[in-house]
Amino acid sequence: MRYLTEEERHIASRFLFLSMAIVVIEQDIQHIEKGAFKIKEPYMHLLENMATVAGEERRELRMQMNRGRIKVVTLEKNDSFSSFLFLCQGREEKRNYYNPAIRKKVHAIIQELMQKSLLPSPKSASAKI
């Protein structure tokens, strides 16, 4: 049964999957640092930019969650599914996600962050003129 509004659910799920994407990015940074890359800097720069963009978005989501009194709690995980509890102003909603679907959502967020990180920012574009 659904007890949260669409907006509350969107904020909570975006926060959840963005947090997972940040963990993946941090792990990738560690792998590159320890890896046998000949030239690490471009990859590190991209991943660090992605982590910065993701961190800023997660900070904004956390503020929205605090204002709306929204929380996300991990309930259980197994090989196939992960369960989370979304809490909002005394209402709660249990959400079960198929782990490959989680992976797909995190993948999409990482691609989105990569695109945002590769696009020239308005500040750097105006500096070139």
* Residues above pLDDT 90, as percent of the chain: 80
Please state, in angstroms and rounded to a whole number, the distance separating the CA atoms of residues 2 and 6: 9
DSSP 3-state of 129: coil
| pLDDT score at 122 | 60
Please state, in angstroms and rounded to a whole number, the distance separating the CA atoms of residues 106 and 96: 16
In this predicted model, what pLDDT tens digit does every residue of 87-129 receive, in sequence order? 999 899 999 999 999 999 999 999 999 999 988 766 544 444 5
> Do residues 86 and 9 lie in contact, with contact meaning Cβ atoms separated by under 8 Å?
yes
Orientation angle between helical segments 99-118 and 41-68, nearest 10 degrees: 110
Which carries the bigger pLDDT value, residue 43 or residue 122? 43
| pLDDT score at 121 | 63
Please state, in angstroms and rounded to a whole number, the distance separating the CA atoms of residues 115 and 124: 16
pTM equals 0.87
Q: Where are the beta strands (DSSP E) in the chain?
A: 70-77, 81-88, 91-98
Q: How confident is the model at residue 21 (pLDDT cuts 50, 70, 90)?
A: very high
Residue reference for tokens 């049964």: 1
